[in-house]
Structure 1
Amino acid sequence: MARLDTYDQWKSSMSGSDVDRIRHERLEAEARYNHALTALDQTIVNLGGRPLSREDFDRLAAALIVFLQQITAFVESSDRQIGGDIGARLERLQQAVASSTAELRTQVNVMHRALAAVGPAKRSASTSPASSNQSAVSDQSTIHHQSTIGSQQSALSDHRYLAFEDQFRGSAESVQARVRDYVPIFHGRTGVVDLGCGRGELLAALKTAGIEARGVDTNAQMVAVAREQGLAVSHHDALGYLRSVADESIGGVIATQVVEHLEPAYLVQLLDTSAQKMRPGAPIVLETINPACWLAFFSSYIRDITHVRPVHPETLQYLLRVSGFERVELRYSAPVPDHIKMQTVDLPAAILSSPEPQAVALARVAHAINANAAVLNNLMFTHLDYAAVA
């Protein structure tokens, strides 16, 4: 580790131009060394084996001194190039190790989720016929009923998609911290339903706040993970589950990062059915990726192959309104950090106030750059997520 730390310090002080300069210096030092060696050899040949005179001694000594000086420069430049070559090899090795580590982490996580799936499968296979039949009555009547979410996620097996969420959505703790802001919306409510609850992060936050809630998801492995936390979760399709409950029986609906997985016709049916099944005045929260932010679209959205289509904030707001929901507001979250945004140009006050033609031209250029940066920031770098709340 100490060697790698030393290398990191060396690498931070080296650039590509530094490496090229060192190589050029070594070639020049080698040429000077060869020239000095040739001169020394020629001086010795010119002596012809005769006894040295004072002048012969001075010429030989001068040639030998120059030769020795060039040896030192040549050796030092060679050492620097060798160090540079070793550093370059270490850098390639570190990159290879980093790549292998990332690949290994992915494989291990997938294997972990696959092995975790074996336990529930064995327990399910070993249940009695009576309990199996009872499960079939409660689950199979609605599971995969017009299951757009399930059909899209079938591109990845349940345990692979769960591992995908682990890697790209973040840990359960980080997700729970993000969705915790929605908990106050449901204070005092009962019978809240989390559609597409995933690993149960929001359900856990609601449970901690003393809010009765149930989750619904088509991914069997995510359902198993949530149930292991003692959360009430049904292995159902969202629309099928809603159709199975009584009208005006639900005290609130929330779906985080779900609507982007749905076909438009399915989404419209889901909203219409939610309005029918929810109690008067019950809140609904739909969070999704913000496609109006280009960074969110080109990073988070297209990364997930189970996404069907993005939903613009104003489109989701409109769909909620035509389904009968009132006071629909848009709440944006996950702002893009400032260091990622386009930076503006700040000119000194002396230049901005100067009547000189050069200063005036420079101020105009800076103004144009800043105006364009603002336009691009509003298109590309705003908020990664948004929620429609009604």
Structure 2
Amino acid sequence: METAEKREKSPKVDVASVMEEIRKEILEARKSEKDLPFTPLKTDFDGKEQKAGKLLNSEELRFLNRHHSYPLESYCPEELSSHRPLLGRLIVRLKRKFMAFLWDGVLKRYFESEREFNASLVRYLNEVSKYVDARDAFIFWELIRKLDVDITKALERIERVGDERLGDIVSSEKKIMRQINDLNERVVKINTLCKSLEQKVEEVDSATRGLERIISKIGGTGNSGKGSETHKEQAQDYTYLMLENRYRGSEEEIKDRMKFYLSYLKSAYNLHTLPVLDIGCGRGELLELLRENGIEGVGIDIDKAMVEMCRDKGLKVENADCLDYLMNLKDNSLSAVIALQVIEHLEVGKLKRLISLSIEKVRDGGAVIFETINTDSLVALGRNYFKDPTHVFPLHPDTMRFIMEGAGLKVKDVIPLSPFGKEASLQEIEVGDFATPRWSYAIELLNRNIRRLNSLLYGHQDYCIIGVVEKE
């Protein structure tokens, strides 16, 4: 009774105000100290891992819920008995009175208070367990949410920074690529200009050497005392030589190109060991090659200046028309007939007559070879064909094949010659490694059209057609 009265008289503790004071003290301590180490309290769980919800569902709490109330089955005064007949009844009655006094006066109130205390304690433990588990779950999911928010923000920031850096890299890459493209264009222009200058230098050199020969010829003729009409005639004769020196190319260059025909001419010469006739021999580059390779060669040309130039080199050359010269030859007296850049100077009737006479004069198994400007190349047609005023008509490869086969020649090969350099043609676009399929397809389609344009505009400048004489 006194204890209960003391409890009632003792002042009640305001838990909310106490917690508020504790929070204030913690905030003041944080303000005074910049860096407070955070060391979480470690709870000893006997080395066992504790999980959320384990406290509420623990065996200990379940045991308390089952056994917090004791029924006091041991207090049963009716079961008291004695084996003594008379004295035993008295003793049993006294025991019952004593037990009733002891129970009602002392123990009953104590045990009822104890049972109420145990029940209250168990209820409190249940509520605390529920609160702790709920709080753990709340903290856990709140922590998960916070981590998710922080990670999302961090990823967004990383992505934003990555986009900014990628944008800077792409911008720098585009700038560098523009500069590289500009440099490449300048390099291509410089290379083209250098090649053009080299070609011009070769033309000037060739023209200079041709002029030196012409001047020396004119000087020698003047000393011989010929009249002005002779000088005029010779000046006219040297006009085509000067044209060829300027635009045909240097003798060394043309000589190098003509090495291609040596294998065909050697085969024909070794078969019959008869001369090879070079129609329109010009400056004599092919005849020099034949002489260097042990092949007997004879040349003809209608230009007197060309004939004189060849004779100065010690070559066997006649100033004659091709048809007149062939008609005066014996049949089957030649191993081969070759005419390079000649047939475009002839009319169709004269061309057919040239082919028929060549068949008559070349022995069986010999070769008849023609070279002319390739009409499949528009640039070659515009630059090379129309540059020479003596050209009559361009000849397509199919047309030449038809005329030669119609005359009785077996056409062995039609070979394109003198390709344009890569820098002279249209350039294809490179497909980048990171191009999308749509852009890759568009670039490939454009490159396909560029290749078709290159074949049409910048095809091979010349072609040769090789015929074999079959008389038996």
TM-score bracket, shorter-length normalisation: 0.5 to 0.7
Q: Could you tell me which runs of 5 or more consecutive residues in structure 2 were left unpaired when the two chains were aligned.
A: 1-181, 183-200, 227-232, 468-472
1:242 to partner: Cα distance: 0.4
Matched, 1:118 2:183: no
1:118 aligned partner, one-letter code = I
- For residue 166 of structure 1, the aligned residue among 245, 265, 277 is 245
Separation (CA, whole Å) in 2 of partners of 1:320 and 1:204: 28
Equivalent residue for 1:131? Answer: none
Equivalent residue for 1:367? Answer: 444
Separation (CA, whole Å) in 1 of partners of 2:243 and 2:206: 9
Matches within 5 A, 1:234-313: 234-313=318-397
Q: Which range moved further: 362-371 or 253-262?
A: 362-371
Separation (CA, whole Å) in 2 of partners of 1:295 and 1:185: 29
Query: Is the alpha carbon distance of 1:103 and 1:237 closer, same or farther for their aligned partners in structure 2, counting shifts above 3 Å?
Result: closer
1:178 to partner: Cα distance: 0.7
Separation (CA, whole Å) in 2 of partners of 1:181 and 1:191: 19
CA contact (8 A) 1:109 1:163 kept: no
1:297 to partner: Cα distance: 0.7
Query: Is the alpha carbon distance of 1:300 and 1:363 closer, same or farther for their aligned partners in structure 2, counting shifts above 3 Å?
Result: same
Separation (CA, whole Å) in 2 of partners of 1:184 and 1:329: 13
- For residue 201 of structure 1, the aligned residue among 265, 285, 295 is 285
1:118 to partner: Cα distance: 2.9
1:278 to partner: Cα distance: 1.1
The Cα offsets for residues 213-245 of structure 1, whole Å up to 9 and x where unpaired, read as 100000000000001111000100011100111
Equivalent residue for 1:333? Answer: 417
1:105 to partner: Cα distance: 7.6
Equivalent residue for 2:465? Answer: 388
- For residue 186 of structure 1, the aligned residue among 265, 283, 286 is 265
The percentage of counterpart residues that share the same residue type is 32
Separation (CA, whole Å) in 2 of partners of 1:324 and 1:331: 20
Separation (CA, whole Å) in 2 of partners of 1:215 and 1:307: 20
Matches within 5 A, 1:346-357: 346-351=430-435
Separation (CA, whole Å) in 2 of partners of 1:241 and 1:168: 28
1:122 to partner: Cα distance: 6.9
TM-score, normalised to structure 1, is 0.60
Separation (CA, whole Å) in 2 of partners of 1:264 and 1:184: 29
Give the ranges of 4+ consecutive aligned residues of structure 1 lying more than 6 Å apart after TM superposition.
101-107, 122-126
Q: Could you tell me which runs of 5 or more consecutive residues in structure 1 were left unpaired when the two chains were aligned.
A: 1-14, 16-100, 127-153, 352-358
Matches within 5 A, 1:89-108: none
CA contact (8 A) 1:261 1:309 kept: yes
Secondary structure of the structure 1 residue equivalent to 2:365? coil
1:179 to partner: Cα distance: 0.5
1:291 to partner: Cα distance: 1.5
1:110 to partner: Cα distance: 6.9
Count of residue correspondences = 258
Query: Is the alpha carbon distance of 1:120 and 1:208 closer, same or farther for their aligned partners in structure 2, counting shifts above 3 Å?
Result: farther
Secondary structure of the structure 2 residue equivalent to 1:283? strand
CA contact (8 A) 1:110 1:159 kept: no
Separation (CA, whole Å) in 2 of partners of 1:271 and 1:192: 15
CA contact (8 A) 1:251 1:279 kept: yes
1:241 aligned partner, one-letter code = Y
Secondary structure of the structure 2 residue equivalent to 1:382? coil
Equivalent residue for 2:307? Answer: 223
Structure with bigger RCO (C-alpha 8 Å, 6+ apart) = 1
TM-score, normalised to structure 2, is 0.50
1:182 to partner: Cα distance: 0.6
1:116 to partner: Cα distance: 3.9
The Cα offsets for residues 273-292 of structure 1, whole Å up to 9 and x where unpaired, read as 11111111111111111121
CA contact (8 A) 1:113 1:162 kept: no
1:103 to partner: Cα distance: 11
The Cα offsets for residues 6-48 of structure 1, whole Å up to 9 and x where unpaired, read as xxxxxxxxx9xxxxxxxxxxxxxxxxxxxxxxxxxxxxxxxxx
1:160 aligned partner, one-letter code = T
CA contact (8 A) 2:352 2:403 kept: yes
Separation (CA, whole Å) in 2 of partners of 1:315 and 1:196: 21
Query: Is the alpha carbon distance of 1:348 and 1:110 closer, same or farther for their aligned partners in structure 2, counting shifts above 3 Å?
Result: closer
Query: Is the alpha carbon distance of 1:252 and 1:125 closer, same or farther for their aligned partners in structure 2, counting shifts above 3 Å?
Result: farther
CA contact (8 A) 2:207 2:242 kept: no
